[in-house]
A and B are shown apart, each in its own frame.
Chain A
Amino acid sequence: MSMFRFGILFPATALCLIASVGQAQAQHPNLGRPLTDDEVRKLDITVAPDGNGLPAGSGSVSAGAKVYAEKCQSCHGAKGQGGPMDQLTGGIGTLASAKPVKTPVSYWPSATTIFDYVRRAMPLQSPESLTDDEVYAVTAYLLSIDKVVPEDAVLDAKSLSQVKMPNRDGFVRWWPVPKR
C-alpha cells in the first residue's frame, strides 16, 4: 500500500485503489507498536547537514581544547595531527595532489558530521559518554585548529549548521546512478 501515490491518480481510479488498499491493509500484519514522540526523541541521534537533529546546548573552542586534551589526544595526537589513530586536522588543499591527506577538516563536506560521529561513536572506549555541550566544544576546537572557525567561536545548533567546510563543494552525488 503506497499512500504517497494517491496524488497522481484520478478520482475514479483512487476509489478502486481504496478498495484494494483495504485488502492490502488486511493482508498486512500491522503488528508494530506505535511510538510516542517522547520515545522517538530519546532514540533519534541523527544529525543532518542542514542542522536538523542538532540538540540544544553549546561549546566554545577553549572548552573543547580541554575536552580534547583529556579524552581525544591520546589517540589522535596534539591538535589532531594524528597518531596512533586517524589524523583529524590539516590536509586542506591536498585532495588533488598525488598524496591527498583526507581529514575531517580537509575532506568532510559538512561540519554536522563531526558532531554526529563524535556524539555516537567517540571516544572509542566509552562512546555516547560526552555531553552535548562537550561535543559542540570539541567540534569547535577541531575546526579552530585550521581556522575554519575563529579562536573565540562558540558552536550551537545554529552556528554549527552554518559552518562552511573547506571541501563543501567537493562531492559529486552518484545516486541516482547517472545514465550513460
Chain B
Amino acid sequence: MENRGRAKRDASSRKTSSGNGQFDRRTLLRAGALAAGMAGMGAGIARAAESIGADAPDWMKTPGRSFSTYGMPSHWQEKVQRTVAFLPGRPGTGTSRTPLHLLEGTITPNGLHFERHHNGVPDIDPSRHELVIHGLVKRPLAFSIETLMRYPMESQIHFVECSGNSGSFNQPEPQQATAGGLNGLLSCSEWSGVRLATLLQEAEPAREAKWVVAEGADAAAMSRSVPLEKCLDDAMIALYQNGEAIRPEQGYPMRLLLPGFEGNMNVKWLRRLKVMDQPVNARDETSHYTELMPGGKARQYMFLQGVKSAIIKPSFGMNMKGPGFYEVSGLAWSGAGRVSKVEVSSDAGKSWTPASLAAPVLSKALTRFRLAWQWDGRPVTLMSRATDEKGEVQPTRAAWVSQYSPVQFYHFNGIQGCRIEADGTVKHVYV
C-alpha cells in the first residue's frame, strides 16, 4: 500500500485482509476534510477581457425550463428503470425488479418499487372500494377510504421483499446479473396509514379467532392467511407510500403492510379481511412460498424474511477503474428487527471487517452499510455477512441450499459474493 501517512492511525480503524487491499471505515471523513481544504484555491484568476460565459456550460447561459406539476427524474437518468419479466402472452403475470445497483441510500423511489402481480394492476375507483372486516368478529364492518382517512395515522419505514427474491441462488452456477437482477425483488418505503389493530379492535374478534385471511381486489383476488397475532401487532393498512397516495402497482388505494413478513402476504388492493380460527391453505401458501425439503416434506407458513445482506457496489456490471480507492457499500435487512452488524470479507471468509451502518438503522427496514477500501489491483472476492438484533447470522449459501430440495428457491438469505479480476471485471460468484 502506498498510504504511508496512514500507518500512524489507530489500528482499530483499519484492517487488512490477506493482501487484497485495505479496508478502512474512516477514509471518507478524511477525504471530506481534504476536499474542504482545497476549496477556493482557484479564486483570483484574471479575466479582464472576456465575460465569464466563455468558460461556462450552456445551461448557465440561458434560462432553464419552467415548473412542472409532477416532477420526473432527469432525462440523463433514463436508464434507471425496473427490469420487467412476465409470462409469454400474459403481460400481467410476472415481476419487475428494483434496479438496486443504480440507486443509493435505503428508500426506493415510488416509480421503482419492485412489482409482483398475479393478473395485472387493477384500476380501482377509490369511491367504490371498501375494506371489509368480517368472520369471527362481533361486529362486521366496512371502511371506505374517506372513513379511513379520519383515523389516527402512523408512518413506518419498512422493506418489502418478495419471498422469491434471490431465487436464482438455488441454481448450480451463479447467474451473471446485476445486483438488481439478483436481489431487486426488494424495496423500502415510508408507509403511512392506519394501524390494523385499531380497526380489528372495533370489530371485536371472537375468543377463538387465530388467523385473518386477507384478500385483494385484483383479477386474481390474491389471498393469504395471516396470524391474528401479527394483525394486532405492527400490521398497517397503508394508504401512503413515501408521502403520496400508494401507487397502483403497490395496491392503490390500500395495501396490507406486515413489516418483516414475506412480500406476498402484504396483500395489495386490499378489500377483505376474514377473521378465522384456521389458515386456509390458499394457493399462494401451498403451491407457492412453501419450502420443499429433501425428504419430500415442506415447511409451510414461513413468514419472516431472514437476516440478509448483499454488496451492491461493486457488483456484476460495475467494472473497476484500476487500483485505488473504492467505497464498498450494500444493503442489509432482517424481518425480525434491526440489523446489528454487517461484516465484509476479502479472503473467502477467513477474516471479517465490520462495515459502518448508515443511520438511521431501523427495525425491518433496509440498512445501508459502507466500508472504505483501497484495492491493490489483485484479484479478490468480496462477501458480506449480516447479523440482526436477535443474534441471527446470515448463513452460507451452501448451508442454506443443503436444507432444501433442489427446486426450492423461496426465502434465500445466504451469503453472496462478487469476484473482482485483475482487469477490473466484476463477476457474481458463489463463496
Contacts and interface: CB of A to CB of B under 8 A. Distances in A.
A28 interface: yes
A35 interface: yes
A173 B220 contact: no
8 contacts: A31-B147, A32-B202, A34-B141, A48-B280, A97-B296, A113-B287, A117-B282, A173-B301
B300 A96 contact: no
Interface of B: 87-90, 93, 118-119, 130, 132-135, 138-144, 147, 150-152, 198-199, 201-207, 209, 213, 215, 219-223, 227, 272, 274, 276, 278, 280-283, 286-287, 290, 292, 294-304, 405-407
A104 B281 CA distance: 12
Contact residues of A: prevailing secondary structure: loop
Interface string A155-178: 000000000000000111111110
Given A35-B141, A85-B87, A128 B287 contact: no
A34 B151 contact: no
A174 B403 CA distance: 15
Nearest to A117: B283
A107 B93 contact: no
Contacts of B142: 32-35, 39
Contacts of A175: 227, 301-303
Interface size range of chain A in the complex: 35 or more
A134 interface: no
A17 to B, nearest CB: 14
The 7 closest A-B pairs by CB, nearest first: A32-B141, A96-B296, A95-B296, A120-B221, A175-B301, A35-B140, A117-B283
B220 A40 contact: no
B12 to A, nearest CB: 33
B286 A109 contact: yes
A127 interface: yes
Contacts of A96: 294-296, 405
Contact of A35 (B132, B297, B300): B132
Contacts of B202: 28-30, 32
Interface string A86-102: 00000000011111101
Nearest to B301: A175
Contacts of B227: 175-176
A3 B138 contact: yes
A70 interface: no
Given A95-B405, A102-B287, A121-B221, A172 B147 contact: no
A127 B89 contact: no
Contact of A116 (B143, B209, B282, B303): B282
Contacts of B281: 49, 108-110, 112-113
Nearest to B284: A117
Contacts of A104: 287
